[in-house]
Structures are given as structure tokens and as C-alpha cells.
Amino acid sequence: MPILSPRTNTAAVFVAVFLLLSTGCWNSPEDALGGTGDSVKEEQASDEETPAQDPASQEDPHCLTNGCPNILLIVSDDQGWDDVGYHGSWIETPNIDSIADNGVQLERFYVNAICNPTRAALMTGRSAIDLGTQYSQGTLPGDEYTIAERFRDAGYDTGIIGKWSLGARSPQLPNDQGFDYFYGHLQALINYFSHDYIAGPDWWRNRDLIDEPGYTTTLLGSEAVRFINERDPSNPFFLTLSFNAPHSPIQIPSWAKLKYRQPICIVSTCFTRCSISGEQRCDFARMVELMDTQIGAVLDTLDQRESRTTPS
């Protein structure tokens, strides 16, 4: 279910949260800026061939002179309708709940059964079938005009932090598809600690493979905080924070397992057991809660650096 939380002034932030597998996407990438742009890069390029006119005689098409809102799009992966606190779940998500409480909840959005085609639709506003990405390993065609390119062409700094899963080779990489900055992984799933995919390491900064220790959810939240703190404040930003959590594999730090578990001793053997649901469900819940903690850190950073007032 998408949650949209608009902010109203120049230094403001528009926050959107998409919980994949029970959510939806933009009707079109142009909807975000109210335009009617073309769907592929070749058509956009043909427009750019028009001779430039005197800027003094033209109205600023980018709204930069009047101020554009910053856009933060937060995406979770394989999180269901009943996996957030504001829907009555026992999973504690106070930060996601706060966005829902102060924003607009769109409860009738439907998506594909798996994440790749949903991500492709989210990036382009087009049907996954039209894109040829309706299957789990579908990649985004390199000539598609993405929402990131739309924002970049409007003068925004663009970044994606987290899971991409729409192609691991050029011209399907994030930096080829409109994002100035990329940090995260390219494949559908990775080990949360080693950052390995089936074929080996899959942890990147732009086009460079990097070796960086840490739990992926924490790393992604920290990188989003850094992006916001170190950005050029004279330019608006469009940042997609795309968590791989709580997608499989179900993995959490050992210290995080203590919540929802009770110690049990049989004779001289002691162990812990999930006190609420099945073992994997308890770990899944903690994955969601750890992600929510990182979302809170990002929102706190925005509160410190930007204005986040929601219209009543």
C-alpha cells in the first residue's frame, strides 16, 4: 500500500512509501511533475535537438527559480498488508506509521506477484507486460524513459540507494537509467551480511564493486542519511531508498533475535523459542522493525535539515 506524505514549501520533502507485493506505482513518471513527456529515450532525445532559445525570453520549465520539493521514495520488498503497525499488526513500525498518520494512504493499489515487474512499472509507469519484465528475472529495457530521468531532466539530483534488480549490465544499470548516484546491490537477493549473490559479491557504489562490512538494512539507512547531509542544497533531490528487507533470505543480527523470544530449558539444555508465531515469522518481523528504525533515522535527518510540515 503506498503512503504519500506531501510537504508544501521550497525546502520541503515529499515522502512516499511503497510496500511491494501489496502496493502500486505511479500512473506515469510524468505524473510526478505534472508533465506529458515521452516514454522512451529516443523520443526525448529528439526533443532535445530543438535549437536552444534565449533563456531570458523563456519561462523556467524546471521550477528551480520558485523552488521544487525534494522527493524521497522509500520502497520495502516483500512486505505485506498485515506487516505494518497502522494496519493492526503486532509488528512495531512507528516510523512508517507516522508517515501514514500524517499522509495519504492509498489502499486500492495492486501490483505484480513478484518484485521485479513491480519495480519496472514503478520506474516507468508502464505495464510490466508491455515492458517484457513480467517474469522474476526480467530486466528493464535500456531505452525506457524512467522517472529518474524525468526528475534529472527537470534539474534534480537523483539517487537510488538499495536494491535495483532491473539489470546487472549496461545499459540497464541505475547510472544508465537516470540515477546520478547508486549504492546497493543489482541482483534480486543477497546475503544480508556478506552481500553475496549466487555468483559472488554484489555490493556497489555507482559502477564500482566495493567490500563493505555490515548488515545491509543498516548500511542502506546510513547511506541515505549521508546522501541527504552531503547533498548540494541549491539543487532539489529525488532519492529512492529501496530496501531489500524483508525479502528472503530471512536474516537478522543475533542480538535482534532476542525480542519476541522466550528462554526455554529442558533438563540441562536451554534455547529460545518465538513466543508469538513461527520462528521465521519472528525473524521476519524483526527485519521489518530494523528497517523501520533506519527509516526513522532518515526522517530525523530530514527534520534536522529540511522542513517536513504536512498540510492538514
**Annotated domain spans of the chain:** 3-305
* 7 in Cβ contact with 104 (< 8 Å): no
Percent of all residues in the chain with a pLDDT value above 70, rounded to a whole number: 76
3-state secondary structure of 71: strand
Per CATH, the number for 3-305 is 3.40.720.10
Euclidean distance between CA atoms 91 and 312, whole angstroms: 28
Closest CA to 236 of 106, 122, 65: 65
pLDDT digits (tens, 9 = 90+) for 256-280: 988 887 777 787 787 777 877 778 8
Distances (CA, A) of 29 to 32, 35, 116, 148: 6, 9, 17, 8
Euclidean distance between CA atoms 254 and 47, whole angstroms: 54
The DSSP-derived string for 79-96 is --TTSSGGGT-SS--HHH
Euclidean distance between CA atoms 148 and 181, whole angstroms: 11
Tell me, letter by letter, the H, E, C secondary structure of 154-210. CCCEEEEEEECCCCCCCCCCHHHCCCCEEEEECCCCCCCCCCEECCEECCEECCEEC
C-alpha cell at 299: 526522517
What is the tally of helices (H) and strands (E) in the chain? 7, 13
Stretches where the chain sits below pLDDT 70 are: 1, 4-66, 136-137, 306-312
pTM of the model: 0.82
3-state secondary structure of 112: coil
Report which secondary-structure segment, H or E, holds 230. Answer: helix 216-230
Euclidean distance between CA atoms 52 and 46, whole angstroms: 13
CA–centroid distance for 212 within its chain? 20
C-alpha cell at 37: 513527456
Q: What is the DSSP letter of 52?
A: P
C-alpha cell at 44: 526525448
* 188 in Cβ contact with 167 (< 8 Å): no
3-state secondary structure of 147: helix
Handedness of CA 212, 172, 227, 283 (dihedral sign): negative
CA-CA-CA-CA dihedral for 7, 13, 14, 18, to nearest 10: -140
Q: Return phi, psi of residue 141, to 5°.
A: -55, 140
pLDDT number for residue 127 = 87
Handedness of CA 205, 209, 211, 217 (dihedral sign): positive
pLDDT number for residue 138 = 72
3-state secondary structure of 135: coil
